[in-house]
Amino acid sequence: MSDYFHYQDNQLHAEQVPLADIAAQFGTPCYVYSRAALTDGYRQFSNALQGREHLICYAVKANSNLAILNVFARLGAGFDIVSGGELQRVLAAGGDARKVVFSGVGKTVAEMRLALDAGILCFNVESAAELERLNEVAGNMGKVAPVSLRVNPDVDAKTHPYISTGLKQSKFGVAYGEAIALYRRARDLPHLRITGVDCHIGSQLTETSPFIAAAEKILALVDALAVEGIRLEHIDLGGGLGIRYHDETPPAIADYVAALLGALRGRSEKLILEPGRVLVGNAGVLLTRVEYLKHGEEKNFAIVDAAMNDLMRPALYEAFHEILPVCREPFPQSSPACGGGGDREKQSLIYEIVGPVCETGDFIGHARNLAIAPQSLLAVLSAGAYGMSMSSNYNTRPRVAEVMVDGRVAHLVRERETVAQLYVGEKTIL
Ligand code: LLP
């Protein structure tokens, strides 16, 4: 659990606000973020990078709520985007286009135009075909596109196969052996300007060694390019630093950055990083309420009001998220939100924590020992990254509210969707 979510008088709080109060005010399910946790994570990066020219480009896909983007923008962050939509969010949140890097294997012409108009820092180009297209689009607009090649270093990130991106067989980046030829091509194209190199080998990495292995390969490439007279302004080493969900022991931000800086010793290029999960993952929880307890023949189920459409990581990756009761015994007398109703009759049992969606894969957690009753509130931890941003409307479930806590105040930063909003663009035919 992060320092920003903690028990006080047996009630789980986000900073100074009891989560039970947030549930009472905004309803459940809802995501709750801690502004201080976001700020703290960002500062750990910027402190560790002090003295070196750098840009921390928050990976928007991890959580793209405007309030979160705005917190980072005000701290001076840049952004790593993967769509025109994410660019529009960054601009709407007050982000600076000149600090935006654009990754992704499938950039459309419309997205390239949008990014060129906005004046982004660079395109992380992922294929030869994309390089040609970008040159053409920029030429048609009378512009020169800043380009960095995303190179696949062929390093095993030792993480879940769905989120491992740096191996030869992955769809990402250009092959290491083809990179120099592609840089030569980029140099010859009139509407491109080479600015850097990029790599990203995967997500939820819990060791430093794959990052260093990738960095060393990228640096060897930078040296080979220099021999050709191609000098780079920046080196982007991607994101991917993992967090603790359960019993993982990822390196601290400061140690990870120190290791990267060690590999970069003696070089003057600007260092760009694209952290996502590590900045937001443990800065958010998903607050949910128990609807029913159901005692099956083999298992006990706690059916909660959040489901796989709200947090799909367990269903998709069998990911583990810790689940804690919002109120634990002995309940404080002072809190009407805790210990009301059924909470007094709760029993401690091993539960499957499941949602109402019609799929067996719809679970939030397996075999959790919890003392709960119908109406009990639960907090699903480490849900700030790839929670809301991967949510869907499956089963016509409106997307949940999002709340950001700042000290003693809880701000609603996204309203709960209404069902009417879900079918606003739909039509019946005659
Ligand atoms: N840069 C690029 C080019 C990326 O593709 C990603 C994530 C990042 C940066 C940020 O990586 P991070 O620091 O967050 O690890 N949905 C999965 C994670 C997918 C990550 C995709 N790429 C999950 O819930 O675990």
Tell me the pLDDT tens digit for each residue of 68-103.
999 999 999 999 999 999 999 999 999 999 999 999
pTM score: 0.96
What values do phi and psi take at 179, rounded to 5? -65, -45
Domain count, the chain: 2
The pLDDT value given to residue 171:
83
Give me the CATH number covering residue 234.
Answer: 3.20.20.10
Q: Is residue 369 part of a domain?
A: yes
Flag whether 428 is in a domain.
no
How wide is the angle at C-alpha 166 spanned by C-alphas 148 and 111, nearest 5°? 45
State whether the beta carbon of 80 lies less than 6 angstroms from ligand 1: yes
CATH number at residue 379: 2.40.37.10
325 and 231, same structural domain?
Answer: no
Q: What is the mean pLDDT of residues 348-369?
A: 96
Pairing of strands 300-304, 284-295: antiparallel
What residue's CA is closest to ligand 1, atom 16? 386
User: What is the chain's mean pLDDT, rounded?
Assistant: 95
- The region of weakest confidence among 164-168, 221-225, 263-267, 286-290 is 164-168
Q: Are residues 269 and 341 in the same domain?
A: no
Residue 342 has pLDDT above 60, yes or no: no
Same-domain status, 264 and 312 = no
Structure tokens at 66: 């405007």
Q: Are residues 246 and 326 in the same domain?
A: no
pLDDT of residue 346: 76
Q: Which of 279, 298, 323 is the last residue of a domain?
A: 279
Q: How confident is the model at residue 413 (pLDDT cuts 50, 70, 90)?
A: very high
User: Does 59 sit in the ligand 1 pocket, CB within 6 Å?
Assistant: yes
Domain-embedded: residue 308: yes
Is residue 199 in some structural domain? yes
pLDDT at 14 over 80: yes
Structure tokens at 250: 């990822």
The minimum-distance atom of ligand 1 relative to the CA of 277 is: 14
Cβ-Cβ contacts under 8 Å for 25 (sequence gap 6 or more): 410
Alpha-carbon span 159 to 207, nearest angstrom: 10
CA torsion 331-333-334-335 (nearest 10°) is: 40
- 170 and 150, same structural domain? yes
The answer to the question of residue 68 being in a domain is: yes
What pLDDT shows up at residue 338? Answer: 72
The whole-number pLDDT of residue 162 equals 67
Whether 386 is in the pocket of ligand 1, judged by its Cβ within 6 Å, is yes
263-268: average pLDDT: 95
CB 411 within 8 A of CB 403: yes
Residues 266 and 138 in one domain: yes
For the ranges 57-71, 164-178, 259-273, 308-322, the lowest mean pLDDT is seen at 164-178
Residues 105 and 237 in one domain: yes
Same domain, 39 and 24: no
- Minimal-distance CA residue to ligand 1 atom 5: 200
Residue 233, domain member (yes or no): yes
Of 279, 294, 319, which marks where a domain is finished?
Answer: 279
Q: pLDDT band at residue 421, thresholds of 50, 70 and 90? A: very high
Q: How much distance in Å is there from the Cα of 264 to the middle of ligand 1?
A: 23
State the Cα–Cα distance between residues 374 and 294, nearest whole angstrom. 10
429 lies in some domain? no
Q: Is 358 a catalytic residue?
A: yes
Give the amino acid at 109. Answer: V
Mean pLDDT across 275-301: 96
Atom of ligand 1 nearest to the CA of 385: 24
Q: What residue numbers bound the domain in which 269 lies?
A: 35-279
**Beta bridge partners of residue 284, listed in sequence order:** 33
The Cα 285–Cα 16 span in angstroms is: 15
Asked if pLDDT for residue 343 goes beyond 70, the answer is no
**Burial of 356 per CB tally in 10 Å (0-12, 13-18, 19+):** middle
Same domain assignment for residues 297 and 344: yes
Residue nearest to atom 7 of ligand 1 (CA): 203
Any domain includes 127: yes
pLDDT at 3 > cutoff 60: yes
Instruction: Check whether residue 361 and residue 292 sit in a common domain.
Output: yes
Which atom of ligand 1 is least distant from the CA of 103? 3
The pLDDT value given to residue 255: 98
Mean pLDDT score, 310-324? 97
What's the pLDDT tens digit per position in 149-206?
999 998 887 777 766 676 677 788 899 999 999 999 999 999 999 999 999 999 999 9
pLDDT value at residue 157: 78
Residues 303 and 174 reside in one and the same domain:
no
* Same structural domain, 275 and 388: no
* Chosen domain end from 279, 298, 317: 279
Q: What is the pLDDT of residues 200-257, one digit of tens each?
A: 999 999 999 999 999 999 999 999 999 999 999 999 999 999 999 999 999 999 999 9
Of 274, 308, 310, 318, the one to substitute when testing ligand 1's pocket (max ligand atoms within 8 A of C-beta) is 274
